[in-house]
Structure 1
Amino acid sequence: MQLQGMLALITGGGHGIGRGILDRFLEEGATVVVAQRRPLPADLERHPAVQSLQADLTDAAAIPRIVDEAAERLGGLDVLVNNAGMMFERSPHELTVAEWDRMMALNLRAPMFLAQAAIPHLARRGGGSIVSIGSVEGIGTNPGHAAYSASKAGLHGLTRALAVDLGAEGIRVNAIAPGWIRTDLAQDYLAGFADPAAAVGEIEALHPLGRLGAPEDIGDAAVFLAGPQSRFVTGQTMVVDGGRTTRLPMPQR
């Protein structure tokens, strides 16, 4: 098992991509505290290797307490996974200061100060790994995503900066940039199309691998970056998108 005996804090780990990460961490032997606003599903509440910590990550003052409590419950901390985030569409003509601030508070500010609070706990265990979930929209973008794309591009930059600053303490910092992943959020978005099934088919055709991703695909990448097999990897953003951003668009023949 790649993560046997490791102690991890995963934000937003109860659903979507976070659940895919959590499931793979558990399969690989980790013990996990999940910090998120909503309660965990019943199956996770009963899991012996999972503890739940209700948390509002937009409350900057609460973040040190969240990390300290997670480390206290686990008996230490080896891995921090910054997964919790939000996305909404808003034209730059209509975006408000409050909306911008809310996006940045969860998607960019929280990962920074979760990392800051985790540093002494990770260092105490001889180092560790911070894995943040960015997005291909931190590299390219879609219409109406100015705030979201800015937050994820900032998270990729933060990843590089923290890797430089924390390497001497044995702490590695990396990010994952997922593409289209089959989550409830993606399904809700696709449901807004006149023909959701046709939209899925068109999106799948844009991927060299011919499919959308699954939460477990991101979980596999997170396991690699959290574990010892990536011991010489830091400051990187790993794109996991089935080749979507590599393939240049062309008209069909």
Structure 2
Amino acid sequence: MSQRLAGKVAVVTGGGRGIGLGITQRFLEEGARVAIVQRNAPDGSLLNEQAVFVQADLSSSADCAKAVDTTYSHFGSLDILVNNAGIMFEKTIEEMSEADWDQMMAINLKAPFLLTKRAMPFLRHRHRGSIINIGSIEGIGSNPGHPAYSASKAGIHGFTAAVAVDHGRDGVRCNAIAPGWINSDLSEEYINSLPDSARMRRELLAMHPVGRLGEPRDVGNLAVWLASDESSFVTGQVYVIDGGRTKKLPLPVS
């Protein structure tokens, strides 16, 4: 069976952990060469001739440009950009400072703009570029205390559509993935920190019609398809991947 991303080069921001790691691993399995762009070095076992680490502070416009340029210089091409890195905190509007808001937008919304802007000439070059933005179901709805996060992810969804409209003529497609609950080290730490973690796990499972929680590889599988030539007629779309969570209407519980 042929590898669907053979010969392609990808940038994956935050590609060394969580959802980003799931995407990186699937890209590597499908034959892509990957630049993992993030602040801290990933597990060394990930790195080889096929995968390199590019250190970058994504709140810095200079670092965003450097990350793209370094990838192109190292591999000699660029076909795929995955804007995955992001932050999240829980504060209502009244609790949030202006600096909090600016930080969320800088990482979750401005960095994808800067990376996309820098990458566009390279993606256009072979007339088959694919940009994949990681949004969220919270770009469609919201959990309590997430006004900045929800705004940033809704912005990513809108940004995705606009880039698709403007750059389809250049052979560059742009789509978004909106994950629901995806298991990760951070989500495990959060659940384990709760007074009744067992109840939380039961309630989380009950929210998902498929009967399980998401895994990073689930997102990676979809990202592979969006990055591949199999999806060449797909652009401007937001793909919800949440095990049916947002389609299940809640019933009152006594």
- Scaled by the length of structure 1, what TM-score is found? 0.97
Match of 1:18?
20
Match of 2:85?
84
Q: Give 1:192 shift.
A: 2.8
Q: RMSD of the TM alignment (CA)?
A: 1.1
Match of 2:103?
102
Residue 185 (str. 1) matches residue 186 (str. 2): yes
**2:57 aligned counterpart, secondary structure:** coil
Q: Counterparts of 1:242 and 1:64 in 2: how far apart (Å)?
A: 36
Match of 1:171?
172
Match of 2:42?
40
Q: Give 1:184 shift.
A: 1.3
**1:238 aligned counterpart, secondary structure:** strand
Q: Counterparts of 2:186 and 2:219 in 1: how far apart (Å)?
A: 15
Q: Give 1:229 shift.
A: 0.8
Q: Give 1:56 shift.
A: 0.3
Gaps in structure 2 of 5+ consecutive residues: none
Q: Counterparts of 1:155 and 1:41 in 2: how far apart (Å)?
A: 28
The runs of at least 4 consecutive aligned structure 1 residues that moved more than 2 Å come to none
- Scaled by the length of structure 2, what TM-score is found? 0.97
How big is each residue's C-alpha offset from its partner over 1:10-45, in whole Å with a ceiling of 9 and x where there is no partner? 100000000000000011010011110011102113
Gaps in structure 1 of 5+ consecutive residues: none
**2:88 aligned counterpart, secondary structure:** coil
Q: Counterparts of 1:247 and 1:7 in 2: how far apart (Å)?
A: 38
Q: What pairs up with 1:66-85 in 2 under 5 angstroms?
A: 66-85=67-86
Provide the identity percentage.
Answer: 53
Match of 1:129?
130
Residue 142 (str. 1) matches residue 165 (str. 2): no
Q: Give 1:61 shift.
A: 2.9
Q: Give 1:65 shift.
A: 2.0
Question: Residue type matched to 1:136 in 2?
Answer: I
Match of 1:194?
195
Question: Residue type matched to 2:40 in 1?
Answer: R
Q: Counterparts of 2:172 and 2:44 in 1: how far apart (Å)?
A: 33
